[in-house]
Structure 1
Amino acid sequence: MAADAGGVPVLRELLREHGLGPYALWRTSRTPDDARLIERAWDLAAVRESHERFVARFAALRPAEAASGDAAAFVARTRLVHAWRGTFERDPRLPGALLPDEQPGRAATRLFVDAWRTLREPADRYWHGLTGDQATDGV
């Protein structure tokens, strides 16, 4: 099951390459009436728990990490990104209309983006100091 309809052509090609095309069942839905199908395809309770753990761990992350030095910002951002990847891998990124009420994914995403932006400049400065690379915008 693909949460993103944009990925369907790639998924079809992958299944075809491996000889699995004849065994695939395709269904497209854009309505909240498919809650049972969604619950069967993804463990939304585990997704919720993953987001809640992420928020609990990083909610206290404040601009203080950025202000406490470039090295501290680099460490905080590295931990943030590593934890986010684990969360992101579990989350199918379903449209909001297909999610249960009060799914914490949006809050976790907002926290990640805001914290990453806060830590970006000092963390990049520290990295470029370690590597000797010239800092470039966006890297």
Structure 2
Amino acid sequence: MQQPLKDPLVDELLARLAPKAKSLVVTVYGDAIAHRGGNAGLGSVIDLLRPLGVNERTVRTSMTRLAREGWLQAQAIGRRSDYRLSEDGRRRFEAAHGRLYHQARPPWNGQWTIVAAGAVPSAGAARERLLRDLAWLGFGRLADAVMLHPDPDEHELRALLAEHSRQVMVLRGAAADWVDAQAVAEVVRSGWELDRLAAGYTAFLDAFRPVWQALQRSAAPEPVRAYAVRTLLMHGYRRATLRDPLLPDELMPHDWPGAAARALCRNLYRHVEAAAEAHVSAVLHTAEGPAPDAGPAYFDRFGGLRSSATPASPAATGSAPGRRTAAPAAPGRPR
């Protein structure tokens, strides 16, 4: 049985982040379980959460709620329970995986997509639900019932509009070449609340820069410590990116803290991931026995981790990453 981890570095992170248990379970599934088949025995999940200060009773409650919300499917096997990702849960995790772990997309072509929802009936809050779901796809608010995005996922947008209403006008085109650049910058700043997003990234940097510095000064971390740091790293980064539409670089301020946050996340992740995976391998079991090894997609995270044929090395590091990713945000994620 895994014991609570008594580590000042991890304790400080837990105090700063104050993560909710259910959201922490989501992080563990996304970072440590999804790439190993997406299935875990309840006892394994309890053992993976215990070093992070979450007790057995709270884990059980969180798992039940996530199953009720459609993220997980429970399966009773004898006296034990396994929880695997549901199809809906797997889709959400795949979308989040692209957003969190992958590289920059091509340069922006200058085209904007505008959705005008003024004709959608307001009765039953249908319009507000549509605007909220457009925001989950990364759209910013240009005016009342008018949303825009520089590079939305067209398939996701079409599916969303088909669900809600066809009383919507969709326009696509570039801004007139005589529009002042400062006007565009102001639309971006206000439409996507860049100040609030920047504050989230700054808080992430404040929390994890000392961790990077401390680990650089110390010996290679033990597996359980590396696992705790990696999990809290991705929990904090997921929280910081939750509402970030990941707009093209061309539209962002030159000192955008999201770029520094991604570089720090990638370097710290690569520093601890091998030791962290060793801990997961020792703990994660299903009804059939030990969980499968990490799949190939795992080693593509942050532009490439150690080779799957290379022995685990907790000192794996890398250079700073790009700033953007192509995958959309996953809707409805617990915080």
Give the TM-score normalised by structure 1. Answer: 0.83
- What RMSD, in angstroms, separates the aligned Cα atoms of the two structures? 2.6
Aligned to 1:44: 194
**Aligned-residue offset at 1:108:** 0.3
Aligned to 1:88: 241
Q: Give secondary structure in 2 for the equivalent of 1:90.
A: coil
In the alignment, structure 2 segments of 5+ residues that lack a partner are 1-138, 140-147, 285-289, 299-335
Of 149, 167, 185, the residue aligned with 1:22 is: 167
Indicate if the aligned counterparts of 2:221 and 2:272 stay in contact, CA closer than 8 A.
no
Q: How many pairs align?
A: 138
In the alignment, structure 1 residue 115 sits paired with structure 2 residue 260: no
In the alignment, structure 1 residue 133 sits paired with structure 2 residue 279: no
The 1:79–1:113 alpha-carbon spacing in structure 2 relative to 1, beyond 3 Å, is same
Separation (CA, whole Å) in 2 of partners of 1:97 and 1:119: 32
The 1:51–1:89 alpha-carbon spacing in structure 2 relative to 1, beyond 3 Å, is same
Separation (CA, whole Å) in 2 of partners of 1:49 and 1:91: 12
**Aligned-residue offset at 1:40:** 3.0
AA aligned to 2:202 is: E
After superposition, the C-alpha distances for 1:2-54 in whole angstroms (9 at most, x for unaligned) are 656251332133112211x4335534458983223212321100111111110
AA aligned to 2:241 is: F
Separation (CA, whole Å) in 2 of partners of 1:87 and 1:41: 18
In the alignment, structure 1 residue 13 sits paired with structure 2 residue 159: yes
Separation (CA, whole Å) in 2 of partners of 1:38 and 1:96: 12
In the alignment, structure 1 segments of 5+ residues that lack a partner are none
**Aligned-residue offset at 1:135:** 3.7
Separation (CA, whole Å) in 2 of partners of 1:86 and 1:106: 15
Indicate if the aligned counterparts of 1:59 and 1:111 stay in contact, CA closer than 8 A.
yes
| Identity within the alignment, % | 25
The 1:28–1:103 alpha-carbon spacing in structure 2 relative to 1, beyond 3 Å, is farther
Would you tell me which structure has more helix in proportion to its own residues? 1
Indicate if the aligned counterparts of 2:221 and 2:275 stay in contact, CA closer than 8 A.
no
Separation (CA, whole Å) in 2 of partners of 1:89 and 1:111: 17
Would you tell me which structure has more strand in proportion to its own residues? 2
Aligned to 1:78: 231
The 1:66–1:38 alpha-carbon spacing in structure 2 relative to 1, beyond 3 Å, is farther
The 1:124–1:61 alpha-carbon spacing in structure 2 relative to 1, beyond 3 Å, is same
Larger relative contact order (C-alpha < 8 A, sep ≥ 6)?
1
Separation (CA, whole Å) in 2 of partners of 1:55 and 1:120: 19
